[in-house]
A and B are shown apart, each in its own frame.
Chain A
Amino acid sequence: MSKYFSSICLLFSMFLTQAQETPTTTSPKEVVKEKPKAEAKKTAEVAKKDSIPAKTDRYGLRVGVDLYKLTRGFYDSDYKGVEFTGDFRLTKNYYLAAELGFEDKTTDDARLNSTATGTYIKAGFDYNMYENWLDMENILSVGLRGGFSTFSQQLNTYKIYNPDPYWGEIPPLTSGQKYSGLSATWIEVALGLKAEVFNNLFVGFGVQLKTLVTNKKPSGFDNLYIPGFNRTYNGNFGVGFNYTVSYFIPIYKKKVLPEIVKKAPKK
């Protein structure tokens, strides 16, 4: 028995110590718990300010080229064209945007074949609707542009529409008549998407819906294609599309100020 007594005592002592420990630890814990909570809050705030670098928005100029127009010349012998795009970030979401281009397009319709050649400029703004995570700079934009084009047209061949071909069908006639000094202005709503694929290098798509404001037509002919505006329809409606590659040139940075500052003006 005596042999076991010590061991039983030891066993009991273990229970005792355990029994003692639990209450002793619980009561100080509650006291301790409250203090670190407050401290933790503070440290968290400190951590926010210090450990994560302040978010900055980069501002600068993005210049690019429309690859669709540029490459179309390789496979479409009726087309030569280039468009340069540029935008400059004004505020967090607003960008000044412009496009400058040249087009030489031969339109081959069923009864007419004509070539339009000219340059155009479009200027306006883009609004970025996309809420970026962290320091991403992707853009999903909706924008407005005013467009202006000066161009010339050449009527290559044409057909006479004769509903009663009793005397036979007439072959297409060659004209070669050139109409120069033409111009057009239009407004377009531009939807765009630009994704940063490498550092500062963006690829993007854009679709534009256009409406003609002025259209100086040649006497005795029509503007079948307006550089920058594209094909004309019976009304004033037009559509456009581009596929751009652009490079962003950062000029300056602006800190994105955390919310604490927003609270401050309340005082």
Chain B
Amino acid sequence: MKKIISLFLLLAFGFSGCEKDDICDANTPTTPRLVLTFYFADQPTVLKPVTSLKVYGEGQDATKGIIFNETAITDELKYTTNASKILIPLDPSKDSVTYHFISNFSTTNPALQNDDILKFTYTRENVYVSRACGFKTIYKLNTSVERLGGENINTYWMKNINVITPNIESENETHVEVFF
């Protein structure tokens, strides 16, 4: 009888012991980033890879930026990309973010680089995901993207910016198309 009692106790405490075992799976869709896709300005259906694009947030460290290449050895490679699609995070605690998009970024030849400053305005909603992940923020992007910096319109490297999916709920679709 005593053996049974101790077995029951062991079982009971064994179960209560393994409560906090949840870890948010990396594949779970949580707070989405903004997906920008680049196209040729004269061929709006053909993807165009950017050349050494560096993106950093206004108010953030300008020497750093969004990490495009985690494993790169130099900062220049780490913070620049040559892809035709980039993902940039929005700020889940504010209603807008301002980003510098520096095309042809190069520390050796700064004269070539071109900085376009874009301000994305949006509304936020916090949505329940799961016990392990908590909540995520989804956004509704304002369809007009504001240009900052007071540049001459002719010096923009981005010719046209088009918000095609204002509801930013997943990273599987393009939200903003950029033509250059």
Contacts and interface: CB of A to CB of B under 8 A. Distances in A.
B16 A160 contact: no
A110 B135 CA distance: 12
Nearest to B91: A167
Contacts of B128: 158, 220-222
A84 B68 CA distance: 60
B26 interface: yes
Given A166-B60, A167-B57, A160 B126 contact: yes
Given A161-B129, A162-B92, A111 B5 contact: no
Interface residues of B, number: 41
Given A112-B131, A170-B92, A241 B16 contact: yes
Nearest to A169: B93
A187 interface: no
Interface in B60-76: 60, 66
Interface of A: 109-112, 138, 140, 158-168, 170, 173, 191, 193, 195, 205-207, 220-222, 224, 231, 239, 241, 243
Contact of B19 (A164, A191, A231): A231
A161 B5 CA distance: 43
A159 B137 CA distance: 10
A162 B12 contact: no
24 contacts: A109-B131, A109-B132, A111-B132, A111-B135, A112-B134, A140-B4, A159-B134, A159-B135, A161-B129, A164-B33, A164-B87, A165-B89, A166-B88, A167-B60, A167-B91, A167-B97, A170-B92, A195-B5, A205-B5, A206-B8, A207-B15, A221-B128, A222-B131, A241-B16
A161 B60 contact: no
B30 interface: yes
B15 A161 contact: no
